[in-house]
Chains A and B, each alone.
Chain A
Amino acid sequence: MTVEFPTRKGTLIAVDDVSFDLQPGEILGVVGESGAGKSMTGYAIIGLLDRPGRIAGGRIELDGERIDNLPPEKMRRFRGRRIGAIFQDPLTSLNPLLRISDQIIETIRTHMDMDERQARARTLELLNEVGIPAAAERMDEYPHQFSGGMRQRIVIALALAANPQLIIADEPTTALDVSIQAQIIRLLKRLCKDHDTAIMLITHDMGVIAEAADRVAVMYAGRIVELGPVRDVIKDAKHPYTKGLMDSIPAIGQDVRVLAQIKGAMPRLNAIPPGCSFNPRCPQAMDRCRVERPELITQGASAVACWLFAEEEAGVGVA
């Protein structure tokens, strides 16, 4: 899949030829730094790209059905019914003027064939499921009457309202305190198991990924540079970028005077270097990296887009 932003100064490619799949009941973590294209990938899947952004190539299939070329009206029904979304800031994803019960009931009735009474019963059920205490009394309150952690639970209930097959969670815990973060991750993991829902968890926080995800995709400058089981990627990172990223995270109990740092910064979208986009910052860059772009190469259970691994395997492109 490719996402482009045509601008006056030329077309910016925000997501460049990204491919992955998600199994039911699986949590796929997508990590990367700001501007890596991880949120864009998520928005493209739910069809919420801001203009003038558009999907320029590739295809998105949900349960065997192609969804990237649906007309807007059909996509609107699809979204919510089969794909749910959880965003970073729970306060902006809830309407401050409506009671939370009304917001959830509206969502349920838009997507499911239920009358007001049934929808209200389902709302209560959902709120109980996401762990809102005294849900029966509190469901008629307004969003501002809840704390940040509780609001995020409500947003999760809203995303679950129509029993979607896929949930896109964009930085769902970033705005929360660590102790609340632990509660929300636990909740997401449980829901994923109970409902057999696939979750695409987009975050910059490796800690969250380590705890929640089954597999992880590391993104850099619009491309996936490494994709594999979470344990392999975190414990034994292969791509030089993933390695650098892991080393730059300070760890408790580890006494280092100077943190390892990746020199430089991620290139801007209008100045992505030729060849491997990481080559100017890569400590192991070779001549080939500067001219030829690496595709994902299978390495054990993972796949890595790096020429360092090209010789060992005959170059089985997964992309």
Chain B
Amino acid sequence: MALLEDQNEARGSSAGPLLRVRGLKRYFDVSPPLLNRLFEGGKEQIVKAVDGVSFDIKRGETFALVGESGCGKSTVARLIVGLYDPTAGSIEFGGTDLAKIKRRRDISATRGRMQMIFQDPFASLNPRWRVAAIVAEPIRYRQLLNGRAAITERVNELLTQVGLSPSDAEKYPHEFSGGQRQRISIARALAGNPEFLVCDEPTSALDVSVQAQILNLMKELQTNLGLTYLFISHDLAVVYHISTEVGVMYLGRLCEWAETKALFSNPRHPYTRLLLDTIPDLEMTGRERLPVAGEVPSPINPPSGCAFHPRCPHANERCQRERPELKTAGGARVACHAVEEGRIPAS
């Protein structure tokens, strides 16, 4: 039996999820300096930016992380691509634990299979490099191709793939609009032939008509190249459009993880319901947005028990005391005592 499981693990690269995150934590120390603490009696302060997050991303699908600012969604993205080291927990990519790869060459090879696209296309491209150099950098760094002609040909192919023209290769980033720059970022991310793209708010800095172009491009590339996406966003309409599964984060923890359709038609966690209720109503049904009491509390000093309890209409004494874990509830995974006890009427 154990042997069978081992075999499955070994083949996991094709059958199991592409990315498996378990109990991921990242703490930041924001204490005042040691001497100040000694003389002024300040206390050690730890921000639990990500505090025990687990999810899977299936091959070829799009997993979206949503939540308000400061909930830790971007930290999760940075942990996955290795810009931060996790405080605890594991990240398995294609069946291998990223923390257990020791040889430098292997690390580089695995990391090359994932790339990141950032929010601000004005800050993420070097203004003094030509587009050709920006897009070719991953190819040169990993020595994927040799010879100037081969690289130029590949760069041209990439630019065409993202809807730019090969003649754009000789230009500088400032000659492009925000949407076109985001296309350059995507071309650069694709240059290393990745399987997995981490997109941190890729369309938040763009106008809606340009956002539509980029979202269409991302979907098209996903179909053509079989890419898997982790898509970070605070815009629920965009998330509905692009993702297959959604994880909702609140103060460093996942409070609900479900298939996109199920989450939007039947949100279970009170926070998910709150988020859905606050979407501006474009259909002009005259529905008043639910006024939400309060704001996201400070992550330095999160509330006890369930972090959402001070804003939750269903909170009781147990919610103040005991932190809920993510549990399966009718197809979705929800971290809520009230859902578990059946205290919330279905909407």
Tell me the A residues contacting B by CB distance below 8 Å. Answer: 33-34, 147-150, 177-183, 185-186, 204-208, 210-211, 230-231, 234-235, 244-245, 248-253, 256-262, 265
Let me know if A210 and B280 touch, CB within 8 A: yes
Contacts of A150 in B (CB 8 A): 295
Q: How far is the CA of A256 from the CA of B195 in the complex (A)?
A: 25
Let me know if A34 and B178 touch, CB within 8 A: yes
Q: How far is the CA of A310 from the CA of B278 in the complex (A)?
A: 40
Contacts of B145 in A (CB 8 A): none
Contacts of A251 in B (CB 8 A): 237, 240, 282
* Distance to closest chain A CB from B199 (angstroms): 15
Number of interface residues of B (CB under 8 A): 38
Let me know if A259 and B216 touch, CB within 8 A: yes
* Distance to closest chain B CB from A178 (angstroms): 5
21 interchain pairs, CB-CB under 8 A: A178-B278, A181-B278, A183-B292, A186-B289, A205-B280, A207-B280, A210-B284, A211-B281, A231-B284, A234-B284, A248-B208, A249-B212, A249-B237, A249-B282, A250-B238, A250-B242, A251-B237, A257-B219, A261-B213, A262-B209, A262-B212
Contact partner, A207, options B180, B281, B292, Cβ 8 Å: B281
A-contact bits for B92-120, CB 8 A (1 contact / 0 none): 00000000000000000000000000000
Contacts of B292 in A (CB 8 A): 179, 182-183
* Distance to closest chain B CB from A299 (angstroms): 19
Given contacts A210-B284, A252-B240, A253-B264, contact A261 B291 (CB under 8 A): no
Let me know if A180 and B282 touch, CB within 8 A: no
Chief secondary structure at chain B's binding surface: helix
Let me know if B234 and A177 touch, CB within 8 A: yes
Q: How far is the CA of A150 from the CA of B298 in the complex (A)?
A: 14
Q: How far is the CA of A244 from the CA of B238 in the complex (A)?
A: 17
Let me know if A258 and B275 touch, CB within 8 A: no
Let me know if B208 and A249 touch, CB within 8 A: yes
Question: Which residue on chain B has the smallest CB distance to residue A248?
Answer: B212
Q: How far is the CA of A258 from the CA of B214 in the complex (A)?
A: 11
Let me know if B274 and A259 touch, CB within 8 A: no
Let me know if B289 and A252 touch, CB within 8 A: no
Among A148, A235, A253, A259, residue most surrounded by chain B Cβ atoms (within 10 Å): A259
* Distance to closest chain B CB from A187 (angstroms): 10
Q: How far is the CA of A251 from the CA of B69 in the complex (A)?
A: 22
Q: How far is the CA of A150 from the CA of B209 in the complex (A)?
A: 31
B164 within 8 A of A: no
Let me know if A178 and B275 touch, CB within 8 A: yes
Q: How far is the CA of A149 from the CA of B207 in the complex (A)?
A: 23
